[in-house]
Amino acid sequence: MVAEETVEVVKKPPPVFKNPSFQEQFRPISSSGKKRTWRSLKQVLAQERTLPWPADIVHYSSINAPPSFKPAKKYSDISGLPARYTDPQTKLYFATAEEFATVRSLPMDITAGYLALRGASSIVG
């Protein structure tokens, strides 16, 4: 006969997201019995602006990001798809040949409106 082997089963602790005491551990109930609510970033920034901060303190609203080294993405003025092409006459962005035909058939005031919506500095004229 073959000797029976005993296999030890190691029981792993349940994952943190399945721990029933997780919510109470990190979101404690105050002494009055009321649950503490989480604040959004907008609420934190609004509260920071109201407090009197010294000039040399760094906080969320004082952090300035440097400009990006990547070029800005261009999107079609007609469809909103990523645009690879620019019409040299109207300076509108387009993505497909059908959009190019549409861009060329637009009247000048509509073209100027698209450029104004995009915030382009040069108005066609």
Establish if 18 belongs to a structural domain: no
What is the pTM for the complete model shown? 0.47
Within a domain: 112: yes
| pLDDT band at residue 86 using 50, 70 and 90 as cut-offs | very high
pLDDT beyond 90 at 38: no
Give the separation between CA 16 and CA 29, rounded to whole angstroms: 20
Residues in contact with 51: Cβ distance below 8 Å, sequence separation at least 6, in sequence order = none
Q: How far apart are CA 44 and CA 48, in angstroms?
A: 6
In a domain, 92, yes or no: yes
Average pLDDT, the chain: 79
Examine residue 15 and state whether it is found in any structural domain, yes or no: no
User: For residue 100, which amino acid is it?
Assistant: F
Q: In which band, very low, low, confident or very high, does the pLDDT at 89 lie, cut at 50, 70 and 90?
A: very high
**108 assigned to some structural domain:** yes
Give the count of alpha carbons within 13 A of 65, CB side only.
Answer: 5
90 belongs to a structural domain: yes
The per-residue pLDDT for 76 is: 94
Query: In the chain, how many domains are there?
Result: 1
Q: Which residues pair with 93 in a beta bridge?
A: 86
pLDDT category, 57, cuts 50, 70, 90?
confident
Residue 11 falls within a domain, yes or no? no
Domain that holds residue 105: 85-118
